[in-house]
């Protein structure tokens, strides 16, 4: 059975998906929080890597 190919998102698509700015995505890539991949001349983020940006918060914080 063939394995599914990873899905790569543009910075804009990821920002829209997470409800943050493209600048936030760029800062996270620059800091190493998520890896960016150069595809041609465009920077993409693997969808599975983007999941690391989402984390639970402690009860009573929000």
Task: Please write the tens of the pLDDT for every residue from 9-24.
Answer: 999 999 999 999 999 9
- Considering only residues 58 and 31, tell me which one the structure prediction assigns the higher pLDDT: 31
**62 has a pLDDT exceeding 70:** no
pLDDT reported for residue 1: 67
φ, ψ of residue 45 to 5 degrees: the values are -125, 130
Say how far apart CA 26 and CA 11 lie, in whole Å: 7
**What number is the average pLDDT over the span 20-45?**
96
Largest Cα–Cα separation, the chain: 45
pTM: 0.80
pLDDT of residue 45: 96
């Amino acid at each position: 059975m063939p394995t599914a190919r990873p899905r790569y998102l543009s910075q804009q698509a990821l920002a829209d998906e997470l409800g943050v700015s493209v600048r936030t995505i760029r800062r996270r890539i620059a800091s190493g929080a998520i890896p960016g991949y150069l595809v041609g001349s465009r920077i993409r983020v693997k969808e599975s890597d983007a999941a690391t940006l989402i984390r639970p918060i402690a009860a009573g914080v929000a």
